[in-house]
Amino acid sequence: MSSKGFRIFVAALFLGCAQTGAAAASGPDLTVGLRYVPPPFVGGAKVRTPESIETLLAGEVAARQQRGAKFIEFDATASSVSMDSVDFAVADLPKSQARRQGGRAIAIATGQVTRPMAIMRTDTDIKSWRQLKGRTVCLAQDGRYVGRIAERYGAIEQVYRAPADSLLALRTGECDAAVHDDTMLKALLRFPEWKKFSASLPPGEAAEQYFLVPAGSEDLAKQLKEMVGRWKSQAYFNKLISDMTRDIAFEVYLDQTVPDCH
């Protein structure tokens, strides 16, 4: 998928067009469990590239099924997870937790591994995660780490609508650090305009992305395994992350109306 194609797809999702392939729909909407369900797009608002790729993957599965997709909040990390309310879910879990799904769900690893990473100005005095205590950290609303940085390190979290807004706040001095997925941030720091903000903390604990399918849904599980195999062979995720990051960097560039702080 091209960068332009990704932006169009995201815009469609935010406009409430979660009915992927609705014109050729062959059955009722799939109910998809997500950690974060994006709000409907509001007319006049800026289209923002999300940090999360879960909605995109869910849309790909729905298109394969020639069905629409209805998103509901789903906490795969809860101690007691019920799969009764979803056709499938997209979740980031430690490998040990994925294995504990037991007879409730079939866990299919996509191969995508993410870790929290912090970036800062190169002249920062923050050298460790513990030094985030009492400091202001910017995050994206749909990111995986909202609440975790405050709980674990005592940071003051400022949550923004999307990664572009969080990163723009870092550049203009509204926060001491920005925390996002390491895959996106590592790609971002390859751009020369981010050299001034290339100080970083080592990535934290890893989580792997899974499709979770209710036990007994072997046909869907087989299709998901085939899709994941095709994505891996085509380096789909690498291209997707690259396109997303380029879009996010461009959104920051367009909106930065004041110089970098200091």
Which 3 state secondary structure label does DSSP give 29? coil
CA dist., res. 239 & res. 122, Å (int): 28
Domains 3-113+207-251 and 114-205 share a fold: yes
Average predicted confidence (pLDDT) for the chain: 86
Closest of 33, 114, 115, 106 to residue 74, by C-alpha: 33
Q: What's residue 101's pLDDT?
A: 64
Distance CA 134, CA 131 (A): 8
Residue 260 pLDDT > 90, yes or no? Answer: no
State pLDDT tens for residues 102-115: 567 888 999 999 89
Candidates 3.40.190.10, 3.90.1820.10, 1.10.3720.10, 1.20.1560.10; correct CATH number of 114-205?
A: 3.40.190.10
Q: Return the SS3 of 220.
A: helix
Share of the chain above pLDDT 70, in %: 83
| Segment 177-189 mean pLDDT | 96
Q: What is the pLDDT of residues 4-18, one digit of tens each?
A: 445 444 444 444 444
Q: Where are the domains of the chain?
A: 3-113+207-251, 114-205
Q: What is the 3-state secondary structure (H, E, C) of 62-79?
A: HHHHCCCEEEEECCCCCC
Whole-number Cα distances in Å, 20 to 64, 205, 255: 10, 34, 30
- Is the pLDDT at 41 greater than 80? The verdict is no
**Which CATH superfamily does the domain covering 3-113+207-251 fall into?**
Periplasmic binding protein-like II (3.40.190.10)
CB 214 within 8 Å of CB 86: yes
**pTM recorded for the entire structure:** 0.85
Q: How does pLDDT run across 90-144, given as a tens digit for each residue?
A: 998 877 766 666 567 888 999 999 899 999 999 999 999 999 999 999 999 999 9
Alpha-carbon distance 117 to 184, whole Å?
Answer: 9
